[in-house]
Chains A and B, each alone.
Chain A
Amino acid sequence: MATGTPHGRSEEDALRQAQVAFIGRIVAASTHKFHNHLAVIKEYSGLIGDLLRSDQPDIRKVIDRCGDISGSIIERADQAAAMEEALNRFVHRGDVALSLFGAGKAAEELFLLYHICASRRRINFETQVAEGVPDIVNSPALFQFVLYTLTSEYLESLDEEGTIAVAVTPGRDGMVRVALTVTGEVDREPELDAESHGPLLLALEKLGARLSGPRPRGQAVEALLDIPSLQEE
């Protein structure tokens, strides 16, 4: 049974609201990027029109330039299509409450959107998946929400050469171990204290997951997630 919070809102409601906010942020960032692609495509098309109408005497030069611009339009359209595909996969993760999914794949999807939405920052996103990692039967949207909650602060605070990495390996007793490592300079310490993350705690509970960290490890910050898989003993 859900318990009340000091604000009279159930923990379930708080989690749902936090998940909607998470999806909203990803969708807003993606559509902003998509809008940029369209704005660039429109300018390229306008430039082709301008060049064709110009009184430039060297027709060969105009044709070559238009050819270059046409190539740029195709490149932009391809980028927009890849982004649309990633966003589509991401939003469909929330279609079902339970499904069979690979933690590595779900992390990759989220990081691809991070990368697309934050492409002007040169943060590196890495995903490594070991052989023989069992699938998880749970909500992939909830898993992505947990990863997002643990990493989103770093998207703003990490320097441009920083790395956010996820390594997925088989854990003990049929668990899946997800090691989240953030490396690089942060311009402010991300706030990850557990008390302010009621939705995170409930999401972990729903996943049956154990979270250890985040804690400093050498030059990095590491968090370990152990999530029950199909093969849990």
Chain B
Amino acid sequence: MNDQIRILLVDDELDFAETLAERLRLRSFDVNVVSRAEEALNTIDAGWKPDVVLLDLKMPGMDGMDALIEIRSREPDVETIMLTGHGAASSSIEGMKRGAFDYMMKPVDIGELIEKVEQAVAKKGNGG
């Protein structure tokens, strides 16, 4: 299914994000990594429109929840998967209520993550 799916990965833990991105690229995904929510919005505003955003919940500056709302208002058809640490399940559920496609606890299983990304893209392809 992966027809160069574009993923915007937003996480301030850059070692985690860059390594996950490398693993996704090895599987032929087109991945852009940024470390702050504000950079993610700038990337989208500059015209790099992702199919799916992988969004860390807890970041300095604008947090994942506020970024989710901003992304949804700019690009309603871009699906977002929230990435969370432990103890953040309630925030993740709140994210779902605010329009996130799904959420995953870190550390993520790469197989499960790809499955969710592809489901998100399929939903997008079906017009939500």
Task: Give A residues with C-beta under 8 Å from B.
Answer: 28, 31-32, 35-36, 38-40, 42-44, 46-47, 50-51, 54, 72, 76, 120-121
Contact = CB atoms under 8 A, between A and B. Distances in A.
Contact of A47 (B13, B19, B85, B106): B19
A196 B22 CA distance: 50
Given A47-B23, A50-B23, A121-B60, A72 B15 contact: yes
B16 interface: yes
B15 A47 contact: no
A36 B20 contact: no
Given A43-B20, A44-B19, A46-B110, A35 B86 contact: yes
A38 to B, nearest CB: 6
Nearest to A53: B26
Contacts of B13: 36, 39-40
Contacts of B127: none
Contacts, number: 48
Given A36-B106, A40-B19, A44-B15, 14 more contacts: A32-B86, A32-B87, A36-B16, A39-B13, A39-B85, A39-B106, A40-B15, A42-B107, A46-B23, A47-B22, A72-B15, A120-B12, A120-B60, A121-B60
A176 to B, nearest CB: 35
A39 B16 CA distance: 7
A131 to B, nearest CB: 39
Given A32-B85, A42-B107, A43-B107, A76 B23 contact: no
Nearest to B59: A120
Interface residues on B, range: 10 to 19
17 contacts: A28-B87, A31-B86, A32-B58, A32-B87, A36-B85, A36-B106, A39-B16, A39-B108, A40-B19, A43-B16, A44-B15, A44-B19, A46-B110, A47-B22, A47-B23, A50-B23, A76-B15
Nearest to A31: B86
Interface of B: 12-13, 15-16, 19-20, 22-23, 26, 58, 60, 85-87, 106-108, 110
Given A35-B85, A120-B12, A54 B20 contact: no
B83 to A, nearest CB: 9
Contacts of B16: 36, 39-40, 43
Contacts of B60: 120-121
A87 B19 CA distance: 27
A98 B53 CA distance: 52
Contacts of B107: 38-39, 42-43
A131 B106 CA distance: 47
B35 to A, nearest CB: 9
Contacts of B106: 35-36, 39
A40 to B, nearest CB: 5
Contacts of A43: 15-16, 19-20, 23, 107
Contact of B26 (A36, A38, A42, A54): A54
A31 B85 CA distance: 10
